[in-house]
Structure 1
């Protein structure tokens, strides 16, 4: 059953098939001892992590069984481990190059949120989540991420006092401690404002109408907060950006 209703299944099939091919090719190239210089391996590992994430989002959009998507999550962890490995292998004079892949940029923030959402909602296990948090790092940088990490068991984590990206994340963050009857309204407000902010960031996770080759439009962060903080999603469950199947499964 197609979950992303604004996309054509045939286009998603082609997108996923293309990703299958390019991911396999890129893995071979990055792992080949002489194919890329040290900086190229870091760049390639970061791009491959993003590519696998887009692939999993596309499979979710197409309606693939959630257990199949779960099976690919260790691959995502492996690629993030390789990014660390190749970053550590950079010569000393190029170590600063790694910072752009380790800081919590807006694009990384979304990718890490998607990773944690899938890991939590699909039940990959505590060891995977613990390692993911270690690799994501950035403790004390963003209040929302810190609260999520604490809810996932990182009890000694430093907690930021502010949001790194108050637009669009302020309503989602406020929902964590809001009265029960206000939580749904705040998350709906977050969902309603998400697309415009992401477009302003120049990130193509929200497609333009004419785009055909795209994994699908979703705001996974909302599902992560709903799952971790036991929030009633009945008032926004049908929002087009909300990945409800991760919480409730597909309708029968």
Structure 2
């Protein structure tokens, strides 16, 4: 029963999909991160279906790309975008760690949040529009699953910047060994599926995702002393963006 409740909690938090609601207990949160990647699977599947439909009905690349970029927001409600913007504001404040953690809590949007989100959107639009190979598109769609696997692993493995907030609550309540084992297995299966589409491309894109995790570890420790819920949102977007950029690079400079 705890596993089922953990599934519903994961879906209710990380997506806008309506699920049964109930009172949360600590035992119900043990396996929440195990189901976090499946929101990415839904996003990736939806993007692939959308792109397939665009091919069938001859929808232009602009419309295909913009709506494809919006699908993650439709499904998650922009949950990770908020963390990305807060993290950008904090990092670009060039303040001490304590002040940066305060900025993460601030509900107001700063200039750097808007600037960096706009830059991220432009880069994503430009690179995503260049992913035309069906194999690379499938690899990118798998990336939404992989980014959340890696994010979940970081939540129960990396040092936490503070002892409050949603991430701390779930990380502290998690059955860490089970979560790490489950997410590691899911990551391996996802990478295997990516390599099945195209071994060299899948391996390179997966390696890029792992490198973003390494970068995230060192950058979060340097800037905040550890990870938080907001930095986790930053990582999901940053990892997915790097996956799309690397896939586009392969498509343009290797396959064409």
**Scaled by the length of structure 2, what TM-score is found?**
0.30
Higher helix share: 2
**Scaled by the length of structure 1, what TM-score is found?**
0.30
